A = this chain, B = another copy of it.
Amino acid sequence: MINKDDIHIKQKITNIVNDIFATYKENREINHISKNPLPSKDNIIDILKDFFDIIYPGFFSNIHINNIEYYIGNKVSKIYDILSSEIAKSYRYEMFLKNPNVDSCEKCLALCINNGIEATLFLLERIAELRRKLALDVAAAFSGDPSANSTTEVTFSYPTIQAITIYRIANILYNQRIPLIPRMMSEYAHAITGIDIHPGAKIGKSFFIDHGTGVVIGETASIGNNVRMYQGVTLGAFKFPKDEHGNVIRNQKRHPTIEDNVIIYAGSTILGGFTVIGHDSIIGGNVWITKSVEPYSKVTVADLDNSVIIKTIES
């Protein structure tokens, strides 16, 4: 029988540690043992909470009713400090990939800090506009869901609001080509809502995803205004073109385009960079679409079996 604290165990643990440590020299892609720290997941999540407090005042934290400017101002200052530093880390990480000695390049580090500040200010300057867009998203959810009792209930509880809010923030950073952080944000949204919107997607006004679990919206998808979709909808890639070395080619339009006023019911899958769902169409549930659909179409499972697209105008 093993005695919990005997010499044998001590030796085993020492061996285990040495074995693990040895692998730190092998599997470099899953190590980050470097003087260039990665952005902190906890900080990014913390800042997203601050954004919610600013964007939806009074919903998720108590606010001091008098002199709200101070409350907002303090949150904005906090985001400025922390996010600019996290973005600087993400730039530094990117430089490090090309130059392992970035930590001893003063100019490089200063550039990272500067770019972090600029990107953060750029985002902060868009909050007022973001709020206007998000108010439309809330209104879309309220008018699109008969079980919603009020916009307050929607703002407070609907996962679509969490997902679209985080997407709209992450998308601004993505468009500024910030490494790592936009995806950290979108995967946080994914984890808490089951909705996976790539920060690179383009999404118009008054967007609503009901229920939402399992929705996937790919990097190069493009969505118009007044689009509504349900749980389990995928806007995905059809095939990944590869180059002559067999490596996937990145940064191509691989995901579909959804025009204005489209409704896509639960579980449907729309694939391909050239696939366009024409405006004012309705896509039924569980359908699988890899070809474009004209405006005002109404597509159901049966249609597809017959490869027929029936134009209808919803009354």
A interface list, Cβ under 8 A from B: 1-2, 4-5, 9-10, 12-24, 26-27, 29-35, 37-38, 41, 54-60, 62-74, 76-78, 80-81, 84, 93, 97, 106, 110, 113-114, 117-118, 121, 124-125, 127-128, 131-132, 134-135, 138-139, 142-153, 155-159, 179-180, 183-184, 186-187, 190-194, 196, 198, 200, 211, 213-214, 216, 218-219, 230-232, 234, 236-237, 240, 247-252, 254, 265-267, 269, 271, 284-286, 288, 300-302, 304-305
Contacts and interface: CB of A to CB of B under 8 A. Distances in A.
A30 B17 contact: no
Max count, chain B CB within 10 A of own CB: residue among A56, A78, A232: A232
Given A81-B64, A254-B146, A17 B72 contact: yes
Copies in the complex: 6
Contact of A76 (B20, B57, B193, B194): B20
B23 A124 contact: no
A225 to B, nearest CB: 17
Nearest to A250: B146
A30 B155 contact: yes
B159 A187 contact: yes
Contact of A232 (B32, B152, B214): B214
Contact of A23 (B73, B132, B153, B234): B132
